[in-house]
């Protein structure tokens, strides 16, 4: 298992929040509602419909970061285990779900 320091060495640094426009607006708590909201921190991924708390983070040989998470969907009881792959992109980071679907692209919040 790799440590957070090794994950940083892989090139993905989540010490500062990443998001799309509406995600970054909400980086300090829910201020506006937006269907497309994506906010990525070192501890969680938040969308308009769900919140995922991160567990293990494993840096991959290709520079991506695989993150195991427990997600709670809005309006549902309990949590579901899943994993995300976070990859470098031209604008920042791309978040891919475990089925290979691109959830969105995020850039460093200012």
Q: How far apart are CA 37 and CA 108, in angstroms?
A: 14
pLDDT score, position 75: 83
Q: What range defines the domain where residue 34 resides?
A: 4-108
Distance CA 44, CA 51 (A): 7
- Please count the structural domains in the chain: 1
pTM of the predicted protein model: 0.84
| pLDDT score of 48 | 87
pLDDT at 40: 96
Q: What residue ranges of the chain have pLDDT lower than 50?
A: 1-10
**54, 44 in Cβ contact below 8 A?**
yes
Alpha-carbon distance values, 19 to 22, 49, 50, 66 (Å): 7, 15, 15, 18
Q: What is the pLDDT of residue 35?
A: 86
């Amino acid at each position: 298992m790799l440590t957070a320091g090794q994950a940083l060495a892989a090139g993905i640094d989540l010490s500062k929040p990443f998001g799309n426009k509406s995600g970054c607006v909400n980086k300090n708590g829910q201020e506006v509602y937006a269907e497309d909201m994506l906010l990525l921190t070192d501890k969680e991924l938040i969308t308009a419909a769900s919140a995922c708390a991160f567990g293990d983070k494993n840096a991959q040989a290709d520079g991506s970061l695989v993150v195991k998470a427990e997600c709670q969907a809005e309006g549902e009881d309990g949590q579901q285990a899943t994993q995300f792959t976070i990859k470098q992109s031209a604008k920042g980071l791309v978040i891919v779900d475990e089925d290979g679907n691109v959830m969105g692209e995020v850039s460093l919040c200012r």
